[in-house]
Chain A
């Protein structure tokens, strides 16, 4: 039995992005779960340098209410 895993790649490296902007919500959404949690680097495959920028950008984005801290909807 063999396991074949999809090759992970750095999204930013592929697209030649060197700077992560906190205002680019559309891009940042890719690196956040539906709940709004930051997806770990081992899953997204982004490089350490970019991931540090990414985390910072997401947190800045949350602070100015462009992105949610959490998306959990409570009934009632």
Chain B
């Protein structure tokens, strides 16, 4: 009997339902190998220490399980690599049996998790305005003029309008 811990990062742009699907998918997949799952918790969106595949944020999910046989792990890890929504994963063997965690807040550092404002921005952002996201993240380096620009952008419901406006402003500069 060995205990394992898998921490994997899922693409942050996915909706909550899709993330749940992935959790179920991986849970079912590992269940086929006669494995008993101890914990399968969603940590939530966190800022990555460095960008992975151009993602600044990531949804962390922790899976702890015990296994009798170990030869399936290679196969299982390969299937994780092939999943496009899983950006990064790390499988670690534990020396002792991990405790069952019901309250996820115990592990997740509150200071590290993203504030609600940033989360909203993440959901609104598409690949087209990645630069805008970078501006929004680095709140310290933003000039007052840029701040007003951002505020205006938020007010505008139509994205096309605000973009064209910004282009004009850049030309003026």
Which residues of A are interface residues toward B (Cβ below 8 A)? 19, 22-23, 25-26, 60, 62-69
Contacts and interface: CB of A to CB of B under 8 A. Distances in A.
Contacts of B89: 64
Interface of chain B, main secondary structure: strand
A22 B49 contact: no
Contacts of A26: 109
B92 A66 contact: no
A64 to B, nearest CB: 5
B139 to A, nearest CB: 15
A65 B107 contact: no
A22 B92 contact: yes
B9 interface: yes
Q: 9 tightest CB-CB pairs across the interface, nearest first?
A: A68-B49, A65-B48, A64-B90, A65-B49, A67-B49, A64-B7, A63-B90, A68-B50, A65-B52
6 contacts: A25-B112, A60-B92, A62-B49, A65-B88, A68-B49, A69-B49
Contacts of A64: 7, 9, 88-90
Contacts of B96: 19
A66 B50 CA distance: 9
Nearest to A36: B49
Given A23-B62, A60-B90, A65-B50, 6 more contacts: A22-B92, A63-B88, A64-B7, A65-B52, A66-B49, A69-B50
Interface in B105-136: 107, 109, 112
Contacts of B112: 25
Nearest to A66: B49
B170 interface: no
B95 interface: yes
A63 to B, nearest CB: 6
Nearest to B47: A65
B27 to A, nearest CB: 20
Contacts of A69: 49-50
A60 B94 CA distance: 13
